[in-house]
Structure 1
Amino acid sequence: MSTFSRLQKRLSRLGIESHFNNDIYTLNKENTSAQILLPSPLPLEQKAVEQLLNFASVSVPNSVGKVCMARATPDFHPGAVAPVGSIVATTQDLVIPAAIGTDINCGMRLFTTGLSFDQVCEQKSTIIAQLKRVLLQDERDVPVTPHSFQALFDQGLAAWLSALPQQGLWNSVNYERLHAELNKISGNHLIKADSQYAPEAFFEKRDIIRPASLGTVGSGNHFVELQIVDDIIDRHLAYQLGLEKNSVVVMIHTGSRDVGFYIGQRWQDRAKALWPNNEKQPKSGLFGLTDSHAQAYLQAMGVAARYAWINRIVITELIRKSLATIFHQDNSQLVVDISHNIILPEQEMNIHRKGATPAYAGQIALIPGSMGDHSYVAVGKGNADWLWSCSHGAGRAERRQAMRSKKVEYDKVNLPWQCITLKEERLREEAPTAYKPITPVIEAQQNAGLIQTVVKLKPWITFKV
């Protein structure tokens, strides 16, 4: 009996019908349905299935708000309350804060360095030493003011740039380039925010402040990685994006840090507190918000989303400054900044992406593998059946807790990549074997018409907190 046949029987006992055809699992339970794009070599996990159907069945008593469609991409695996790699579209009057959680607007950013692999190889030890100080040992000077935060949350990223104090990091940045690069931040124009939902600490002082989390990567699966353009698949688009074979690029994966935690936790608690007292609470922990509460949440979420974007901007500028010091040049350019853990108003719906990337026709997407596997730059195909989305990575194959008990050994001399971290346990938790292989994840999405790959990137140096 196949593994899926055994899982089918277990799911059937839970009242879940499941079918598999052409890399697509179709799930049905009572009035709820969902589809998962997952090639047969990759395992389907029961917990993730149950979480997806719970996500797809969220409703609020006495409300017309409902889930319209639920899908999942090949990086699908269990999350805390909602599965990673899931996309759920709801009506405009319904949002589900716990589905996005506290890592609001976690996303990927890719920029070119204008340097070749031959150039950087000669300075590898210097690069590691400099970026280790900046990224892992908090050696940075990033001053901001309450006024600049007010501008950020109430007006947007451009207003924030214009309101920054001319001190510290901001004395050395290229503002013309920064303003131009705002156009490459996907979803920025869809976000609304209001400073009333921001942490009060940002506005308690009138002089310069230096938030502890601004310009930091964060723990877990977040990273900064120097990568090499290994293979050009679409030469025309790669040229447009400034991606040349054997050139070095930087990929950043991080989110809204403590601001996301502050807002995400408060609104999860609020959604639970607003649940009608006479109604049974959902065991899934997924409480919906409707009407004015939903709109207020989206503005609060927007505060964290904008903080995540400036966090990635700051990290970019810190790396640019470090590399310019070493190589006495800075011809770097942003390729794209794209979110994969956010709710966006699209197609007259609220599209919740939990570890999934927007992939509208012509939209640039970033799909990283593990720190020992390739990453891909792709372009979306605008597949409505999959809610205009694709995966945000390969997806975990083993939970972090399980990896902690395993012995992971690296031959650091022969490996083509290197992980720089201050915590040895991170090498076990984030080992390549903890993740699915990226190739079947990419191929399944190409075959299903979600994406077309543009460039294949090879890992070189990964920084993890």
Structure 2
Amino acid sequence: MSTFTRLQKRLSRLGIESHFNNDIYTFNKENTTAQVLLPNPLPLEEKAVEQLLNFASVKIPNSLGKVCTARATPDFHPGTIAPVGSIVATTQNFIIPAAIGTDINCGMRLFTTGLSYEQVCKQKSSIIAQLKRVLLQDERDVPVTPRSFQALFDQDISAWLSELPQHGLWNSVNYERLRAELDKISGNHLIVADSKYAPEAFFEKRDIIRPASLGTVGSGNHFVELQIVDEIMDRHLAYQLGLQKNSIVVMIHTGSRDVGFYIGQRWQDRAKALWPANEKQPKSGLFGLTDNDAKAYLQAMGVAARYAWINRIVITELIRKSLSTIFHQDDSQLVVDISHNIILPEQCMNIHRKGATPAYTGQITLIPGSMGDHSYVAVGKGNEEWLWSCSHGAGRAERRQNMRNKKVEFEKTTLPWQCITLKEERLREEAPIAYKPITPVIEAQQKADLIQTIVKLKPWITFKV
């Protein structure tokens, strides 16, 4: 009996019908349908299927708001409440805050360094020492002002830049380049925000604020990784993006840190509190918001989203400053900054992406593997059936808690990766074997016409908190 046949039987006992055809699983339960793109060798977990169907069936009694479509990409695996790798489109008046949780606007950023592997190899120990201090030991000076936060939340990132003090980190940045790079932040123009939803500490009567989380990577699967351009599949697009074989690029994966937690938790609690008192609460823990409450949530989410973007900007500038100190040059350029944990108003719907990346036609997207596997830069194909999205990575094969008690053999990968961390347990939790292999994840999405790869990136040095 096959693994899927056994799973079918278990799901059937839960009232879930399922079938598999051409790398696509289709699940039905009580008039709710969801589909998962997942090639046969990759694991499918019962809990993730249940979570996806719960996500797809969220509704509020006596409300017209509803879920329109539910899909999942090959990095599909269970999350805390909603599964990672899922995309759910709802009507314009309907929002599900718990779908993206508290790590609002977690996303990926990639920038070139203008340096070759041959150049950086000679300075590897200096690079590690310098970035370890900045990324892991909090040796940074990032002053901001209440006025800059007011401008960020009530206007935009450009206004935030105009209100920054001219000392600390900001004394050495290239503002002309920074402003030009704002156009490469995907989804930025779709976000609305209001400072009234931001933490009050940002507006205390002080000239300078130094938020503890600004310019920090965060724990878990977040990282900063120096990578080598290993293989070029599309020479034309690679050239346009400044990606040359054997050059060094930097990939950043982080989100809105404590601001996302502050806003995400409050709005999950609010959605639950607004549930009709005379109605039975859903066991899934997924509560919707509608109409004015949904609009207000999007403004609050926008506060965390913009904070996540400036967090990635600050990390970029800290790394640029460190590398320019070592190499006495800075020819780096942003390739893209793209979110994978956010709700965006698109196609006359609200598209909820929980660990999934926008992949519209011509859109540059990033799909990392584990720290011992390749990552990819790809271009979206605008597949409507899969809600104009693709995976945000390989996806976990083993839960973090399970990895803590495992004996991990790191020699099994032949790639030249090295992880720099202050926490020994992070090496086990985030070991390459904890993740699915990236190759079938990429191949399935190319076959289904979600993406087309541009370049393959090889890991070199990964920094994890």
Please indicate the TM-score interval, normalised by the length of the shorter structure: over 0.9
- What does residue 58 of structure 1 align with? 58
Alpha-carbon distance between aligned partners in 2 of 1:415 and 1:283, rounded to the nearest angstrom: 44
Kept after mapping to 1: 8 A contact 2:58/2:66: yes
- What does residue 332 of structure 2 align with? 332
Kindly provide the CA deviation profile for residues 385-428 of structure 1, in whole angstroms up to 9, marking residues without a partner as x. 00000000000000000000012243599861100000000000
Alpha-carbon distance between aligned partners in 1 of 2:414 and 2:58, rounded to the nearest angstrom: 50
- What does residue 308 of structure 1 align with? 308
- What does residue 114 of structure 1 align with? 114
- What does residue 216 of structure 2 align with? 216
1:30 offset after TM fit, Å? 1.1
- What does residue 419 of structure 1 align with? 419
- What does residue 274 of structure 2 align with? 274
Alpha-carbon distance between aligned partners in 1 of 2:54 and 2:143, rounded to the nearest angstrom: 43
Q: Helix, strand or coil for the counterpart of 1:252?
A: strand
1:9 offset after TM fit, Å? 0.6
Kept after mapping to 2: 8 A contact 1:19/1:27: yes
Kept after mapping to 2: 8 A contact 1:412/1:418: no
Kept after mapping to 1: 8 A contact 2:215/2:311: yes
* Matched AA of 2:416: P
Deviates more, 1:408-417 or 1:373-382: 408-417
Alpha-carbon distance between aligned partners in 1 of 2:290 and 2:316, rounded to the nearest angstrom: 37
- What does residue 193 of structure 1 align with? 193
| Aligned counterparts, 1:92-171, within 5 A | 92-171=92-171
Alpha-carbon distance between aligned partners in 2 of 1:135 and 1:451, rounded to the nearest angstrom: 32
- What does residue 263 of structure 1 align with? 263
Q: Helix, strand or coil for the counterpart of 2:340?
A: strand
Kept after mapping to 2: 8 A contact 1:144/1:165: yes
Alpha-carbon distance between aligned partners in 2 of 1:241 and 1:380, rounded to the nearest angstrom: 15
Q: Helix, strand or coil for the counterpart of 2:225?
A: strand
Alpha-carbon distance between aligned partners in 2 of 1:24 and 1:214, rounded to the nearest angstrom: 40
Deviates more, 1:344-353 or 1:406-415: 406-415
Kindly provide the CA deviation profile for residues 248-275 of structure 1, in whole angstroms up to 9, marking residues without a partner as x. 0000000000000000000000000000
Q: 1:138 to 1:231 in 2, by over 3 A?
A: same
- What does residue 77 of structure 1 align with? 77
- What does residue 289 of structure 2 align with? 289
Alpha-carbon distance between aligned partners in 1 of 2:386 and 2:422, rounded to the nearest angstrom: 39
- What does residue 441 of structure 1 align with? 441
- What does residue 341 of structure 1 align with? 341
| Aligned counterparts, 1:84-95, within 5 A | 84-95=84-95
Alpha-carbon distance between aligned partners in 2 of 1:417 and 1:22, rounded to the nearest angstrom: 34
Kindly provide the CA deviation profile for residues 108-130 of structure 1, in whole angstroms up to 9, marking residues without a partner as x. 00000000000000000000000
- What does residue 21 of structure 2 align with? 21
Q: Helix, strand or coil for the counterpart of 1:401?
A: helix
Q: 1:414 to 1:375 in 2, by over 3 A?
A: closer
Kept after mapping to 1: 8 A contact 2:394/2:435: yes
Alpha-carbon distance between aligned partners in 2 of 1:424 and 1:363, rounded to the nearest angstrom: 37
- What does residue 44 of structure 1 align with? 44
Alpha-carbon distance between aligned partners in 2 of 1:415 and 1:443, rounded to the nearest angstrom: 20
Kept after mapping to 1: 8 A contact 2:25/2:35: yes
Kept after mapping to 1: 8 A contact 2:23/2:40: yes
- What does residue 461 of structure 2 align with? 461
* Matched AA of 1:197: Y
1:143 offset after TM fit, Å? 0.1
Q: Helix, strand or coil for the counterpart of 2:86?
A: strand
Q: 1:55 to 1:412 in 2, by over 3 A?
A: closer
Kept after mapping to 2: 8 A contact 1:357/1:390: yes
Alpha-carbon distance between aligned partners in 1 of 2:413 and 2:457, rounded to the nearest angstrom: 21
Q: Helix, strand or coil for the counterpart of 1:243?
A: coil
Q: Helix, strand or coil for the counterpart of 1:249?
A: strand
| Aligned counterparts, 1:215-234, within 5 A | 215-234=215-234
Extract structure 1 runs of 4+ deviating beyond 3 A.
Answer: 409-415
Alpha-carbon distance between aligned partners in 1 of 2:57 and 2:321, rounded to the nearest angstrom: 48
Structure 2 length as normaliser, TM-score? 0.99
Alpha-carbon distance between aligned partners in 1 of 2:81 and 2:321, rounded to the nearest angstrom: 39
Alpha-carbon distance between aligned partners in 1 of 2:208 and 2:408, rounded to the nearest angstrom: 44
- What does residue 238 of structure 2 align with? 238
Kept after mapping to 2: 8 A contact 1:229/1:243: yes
Alpha-carbon distance between aligned partners in 2 of 1:127 and 1:410, rounded to the nearest angstrom: 23
Alpha-carbon distance between aligned partners in 2 of 1:299 and 1:439, rounded to the nearest angstrom: 38
Kept after mapping to 2: 8 A contact 1:419/1:427: yes
* Matched AA of 2:238: A
- What does residue 375 of structure 1 align with? 375
Alpha-carbon distance between aligned partners in 1 of 2:87 and 2:244, rounded to the nearest angstrom: 33
1:15 offset after TM fit, Å? 0.8
1:394 paired with 2:394, answer yes
* Matched AA of 1:209: I
Q: Helix, strand or coil for the counterpart of 2:268?
A: helix
1:318 paired with 2:318, answer yes
Alpha-carbon distance between aligned partners in 1 of 2:413 and 2:456, rounded to the nearest angstrom: 24
- What does residue 176 of structure 1 align with? 176
Alpha-carbon distance between aligned partners in 2 of 1:165 and 1:422, rounded to the nearest angstrom: 32
Kept after mapping to 1: 8 A contact 2:365/2:378: yes
Kept after mapping to 2: 8 A contact 1:104/1:255: yes
Structure 1 length as normaliser, TM-score? 0.99
User: Structure 2: which 5+ residue stretches go unaligned?
Assistant: none
